[in-house]
Amino acid sequence: MTLDETRGRITRDGIRIYEDADFAGMRAAGRVAAEILDAVVPLVQPGVMTETLDDFITEEVKRRGVTSATIGYKGYRHASCISVNHVVCHGIPGPKLLKDGDILNIDVTVIVDGWFGDTSRMYVAGELNRKAERLIEVTHDALMKGIEAVKPGNTFGDIGHAIQTYVEANRMSVVRDFCGHGLGRVFHAPPNVLHYGRPGTGAVLEEGMFFTIEPMVNLGRPETKILADDWTAVTRDKSLSAQFEHSVGVTATGCDIFTLSPAGLFHPTYRR
């Protein structure tokens, strides 16, 4: 362990250990991000452009007096990533019309008093078909299995293993090319939170670690490629992909989920 220039400390794996008081900052930031994802639910309909959803999110960020973490991040220009159907992540909002049966992930990160809240969830335009519903269900439940593995003494490999085992038991695949990440007063920090792995491997979880878990799950093969826009990641085999993301903090007995939906709309966002 080394002492850091500010409060807290950094583990030998380079992971910051935050203090008790810091949980309140993360809760506030996570709540705002989740509220914005709640607010967008009624707008997701066939015939709506993804850039219209992003414009709404930009307004919601402003209205709350907080800051978008993604606008200006490595040249990214939008307040959300919107990833439709076979887009795995980092879909760029644009003049693309949603059509009946489309499934989409909307990912929002805000900065509130210097703390980062990062969350994403799945939405449906119109009627949801059975295969897509199963994918969304399995992806959500895989995230929650990962979160159940979050407690001091467990390892990051335990989280990845819980997710991978569940996804593969359902004959779907875990994307390897993207991972979760530490966050706090920064957007992306160590560790890389892999959504696959072996029990007991990787860094040991300690109280005060803040990170995201954000599994991407494909109906087909796990391989992805990045489109010419340098952002949009798609499945190589064009199969459907889904993702859910929470920001969490390790507590003495388990974890706090900072990005729970105040409206109870994390999943499902649609009626059945």
Q: Which residues bind Co ion (CB under 5 A)?
A: 107, 118, 120, 212, 245
Does 54 bind ligand MF3 (CB under 6 A)? Our answer is no
Residue placing its CB nearer to ligand MF3 in the complex, 93 or 157 = 93
Select from 46, 76, 126, 144 the one that contacts ligand MF3 (CB under 6 A): 76
State the binding partner of 247 from Co ion, ligand MF3, none, CB within 5 to 8 A by kind. none
Q: CA 164, CA 217: separation in Å to the nearest integer? A: 9
Partner whose binding site includes residue 81, from ligand MF3, Co ion, none (CB under 5 to 8 Å by kind): ligand MF3
Q: Strands of 2-3's sheet, edge to edge?
A: 2-3, 9-10, 16-17
Shortest approach of ligand MF3 to residue 119 CB, angstroms? 8
Total count of residues recorded for the chain:
272
Evaluate whether 47 touches 129 at the Cβ level (below 8 Å).
no
Quick one: residue 157, left, alpha or beta (phi over 0 = left, psi -120 to 50 = alpha)?
alpha
> Should residue 109 be labelled a site residue for ligand MF3 when binding is judged by CB under 6 A?
yes
Cβ distance to Co ion smaller for residue 54 or 107: 107
| Whether the bond into 262 is cis, omega within 30 of 0 | no
Contact flag: residue 38 with ligand MF3 (CB under 6 A)? no
Q: Which whole-number Å values give the CA distances from 81 to 32, 48, 51, 91, 94, in the listed order?
A: 17, 16, 10, 5, 10
Which of 151, 222, 153, 161 has its CA nearest to residue 193? Answer: 161
Query: Any contact of residue 16 with ligand MF3 (CB under 6 A)?
Result: no
The tokens describing 198, both together, are 């072996």
Q: Is 107 in the site for ligand MF3 (CB under 6 A)?
A: yes
Taking residues 158 to 197 in sequence order and writing x for each that binds ligand MF3 by CB under 6 A, - otherwise, the string is ----------------------------------------
Return the range that interacts with ligand MF3 (CB under 6 A); candidates 71-79, 125-133, 156-164, 218-226.
71-79
Task: Report yes or no: 263 and 32 within 8 Å, Cβ to Cβ.
Answer: no
The nearer residue to Co ion, 193 or 205, going by C-beta atoms, is 193
Of these partners, Co ion, ligand MF3, none, which one is at the site of residue 23 (CB under 5 to 8 Å by kind)? Answer: none
**How far, in Å, CA of 215 to CA of 221, rounded?**
15
Q: Which residues contact 36 (CB under 8 A, 6 or more apart)?
A: 57, 60, 61, 64, 108, 110
Of the candidates 27, 31, 86, 90, which one interacts with ligand MF3 according to CB under 6 A? 90
Can you give the binding site for ligand MF3, defined by CB under 6 A? 70, 73-74, 76, 81, 90, 107, 109, 118, 212, 214, 245
